[in-house]
Structure 1
Amino acid sequence: MTIFRFALKRILRDKTNVLFLSLFPIAAIFLPLAQEGWPLLPLGYQYFGVLLLFVSIRLTSIMIEDRQKGVVKRLAAAPISHFNYLWQNLLAFSVIMVIQTVIVIIGGHVYGHELYEPWNLAILYIVFTFTSISISLAWNSLYRSKESSFLIFMAVIVLIALLGGILFPVEMMPEAFQRIAVIFPTYWLSEGIEWIVLGEDRGDFLFINGVLLLYALFFLIIGSIRRIS
């Protein structure tokens, strides 16, 4: 677990990371309540998925740094396999983001927010965490510069949040866009949030999480293919 511990230290050594990882989730707890009707959860919880996407692209960018420094190439001659390098880094990212989720859920409960089913909401966010990390891993595999990757991905996040129903209801979009929305992971996150507030059939919730896990697996495969650049 040497790489895992080293990845955690790298992340927490960066003061900007510490600020980003601690203050923003806490701020989400104290965002005002939603207006009547939509969104169904307090604003910070409706938009928490967007924060997870931002955090995941920032964390996974350290793997671009490793490619730039030739770390990935040196793994070929080292006793540590690429698989170990990959999964221990991803585990470090996941642990940090899961802790964020726990803080947000517990903080919201203590603060008095109506979260309906906090445990299920935590499960949904954690599953979306894995999806976000996988998407970011695949995205970063396309870039040699972490700055370029981050800046462009910020625009992508806004786009998929808009089209996926995170920033406003899918029902407000033209019919063609409503059909397109289902291809975005953010759509399934918003569907999961709706189920937590209104849903009754447990199978629907399992299906939503299953779709998100399939996205996670798909992008993980794409992102892990690129070993050496």
Structure 2
Amino acid sequence: MLSGDIGTVAIASVAAFLLAVLSAVAGFGGGVLLLPVFTALFGFRVAVPILTLTQISSNVARMWLNRRELRWPLIGWFAAGAVPFAVAGGLLLAHAPLGVLKRGLGVFLIGVVAWRRWSRTPRKPPDRAFSAVGAASGLGSALLGSVGPLTAPFFLAYGLTRAAYVGTEAAGAVTLHLSKVAAYGAGDLLTSRVLFFGAALTPATLAGAWVGRKIVGRISDRVFVVLVEGGLVVAGALFILGA
């Protein structure tokens, strides 16, 4: 390992830890905010596979820490849509134009928060609707690295909060990230450098998930929802600005 790689691992590990804590508290956000950091360090088309590897470890940890609150029917429906579309998006990554898609997603996320504020009692989506949520999330995540905020409004509308929300969202994310890894491998994007950094950053993401789980147990449902909605607005603004 070169000295430059040591410095890069140190910077990326600090960012991965802090944003894994955020993900463990809000159920998402770490990937969206890590992507600009990793892009600056590695370049976009290398950053996305590295980010995916770190997200697998982070989501597995969040899933395990909240395993007693998982909603398995939702996870199954989500995976049914996420897996095939994540594979398709992973194969398209090397050639897809991404700018318009990112800005459109940003507008959608901010619009969802505005809609939730205006409609205080949004209708609870049926379980099978999560196959469509999974499909959109799988495709977008494979192309953009992370679209965790895209799923948040639907899990919130279903009535999930805190441990049930964080764990169920993480379990669904594991299915799509594993599918993305398979597609990136088929597209020759899993280089030795990508695998090295993915492994090197895993301890930081696991530690962040553990710390975040401790924080979640200390906040109320109302504060939790406010944190998630605030994260949606920040993520939307980053997408619109092209971060």
TM-score range, shorter chain: 0.3 to 0.5
More helix per residue: 1 or 2? 2
> With structure 2 as the length reference, what TM-score do the two structures score?
0.36
Query: Larger Cα Rg: Structure 1 or Structure 2?
Result: 1
Larger RCO (alpha carbons 8 Å, 6+ apart): 2
